[in-house]
Structure formats: structure tokens, C-alpha cells
Structure 1
Amino acid sequence: MRPSTRFASVLTGLALAVGGAALTAPAAHADVSACINRVERELKGGEAPEAVRTACGNGETGAQATCVSGLTAGGVTHGTAVAACTLSPQ
């Protein structure tokens, strides 16, 4: 492989790597709002009650079990509670 071809290949690879990281970066900044939004989707557009906000806040601090139990006690299905709580601490 010629040096100019190799250099172009390296630059292309770096551009793809940086571009991919930029596209995934916003997802890494999920928070309590992402948790609440996930629950509200299950509620079919209804606003999440205060208990959901509190449970999602617990998830943000890393208390995943407390977050899940708080959401399920509030009537959220277990699968949605687990999915929502994993969004909080990111």
C-alpha cells in the first residue's frame, strides 16, 4: 500500500470514529427527565405523578432498586420501570 493511500485511510478512519462519537454523545447525557419521559410514554401522554419524579430522582443518585420499586408501586410495569431507571444515572 502506498504511503498516500495509507494516510488517506487513517484520516478516513479517524473521521468516522470522531463522527460516530459525536452522534452517540447526546444519549450519554440522559437524566431524570429521560426516566420520566419513558414512564410518560407508558402512560400514553399522561403527566407523570410526583411519585414518579421522586423515584426517577432516586435512580439518578444510583439507587436503582429504590427507583424500580418506587415506579412499580406507582403502577408502572416492571419492564418499563427497569428501562426508565437505567436512563437516570447516565
Structure 2
Amino acid sequence: MRTSARIASVLTGLTLALGGVALTAPAAHADVTACINEVERELRGGEAPDSIRMACYVGLTGDHEQCVTGLTGSGVTNGTAVSACRVAPR
């Protein structure tokens, strides 16, 4: 394989890899934000404390039960916690 073809292949691979990261990163952030927004609706304008943000992050990893436990432990009603944790991993 010629050097110029090899360099072109490597650059194409890097472009595709970095483009994939750029496309998935905002989606992950939006999921945590959606979870936090569900809780903040219950707080009626109040900002979610760090304990709620952390519980939503746990929900992003797919641990639904731990997410609900973290949110209810922070004073969120069970119904809101379940719906917020449901939107986190999407």
C-alpha cells in the first residue's frame, strides 16, 4: 500500500471516529438533562441539587432502581422519580 493511500485511510478513520463521538456526546447530555428537567418540574422552578443530578447520571448508566432510590431519597415523589429515571437512558 502506498504511503499516501495509507495516510488517507488513517485520516478517514479518524474523521469517522471523531464524528461518531461528536454525534453521541450531545445525546448523552440531553438524557441527563431530560431526567433533571422532570424533577425540576416537580420543584416548580427550583434548581435540582447535586444529589438529584447524580441520581439522574446513575439512571443514564441504566441502573433504574438505583436512580429511583437516589431521587426519592432526595425528596422527589415516587411517580416523578420513576418517570425521570425512565427518560435518563434514552
When normalised by structure 2's length, the TM-score is 0.67
Instruction: Give the distance between the partners of 1:63 and 1:54, measured in 2 at CA.
Output: 12
Match of 1:66, SS?
Answer: helix
What is aligned with 2:43? 43
Task: Tell me if 1:33 matches 2:33.
Answer: yes
Number of positions where the alignment pairs a residue of Structure 1 with one of Structure 2: 62
* Pairwise CA RMSD: 0.9
Query: Which residue number in structure 2 is paired with residue 24 of structure 1?
Result: none
Q: Confirm or deny that 1:57 pairs with 2:66.
A: no
Question: Offset at 1:52?
Answer: 0.3
Counterpart of 1:49, as a letter, is P
Distance of 1:58 and 1:31 partners within structure 2: 11
Work out the CA distance in 2 between the residues paired with 1:63 and 1:32. Answer: 13
Unaligned runs of 5+ in 1: 1-28
Q: How does 1:1-90 map to 2 (within 5 A)?
A: 31-90=31-90
Unpaired segments ≥5 residues, structure 2: 1-26
Q: Percent identity?
A: 61
1:62 Cα deviation from its structure 2 partner: 0.2
Cα displacement (A) at 1:66 = 0.4
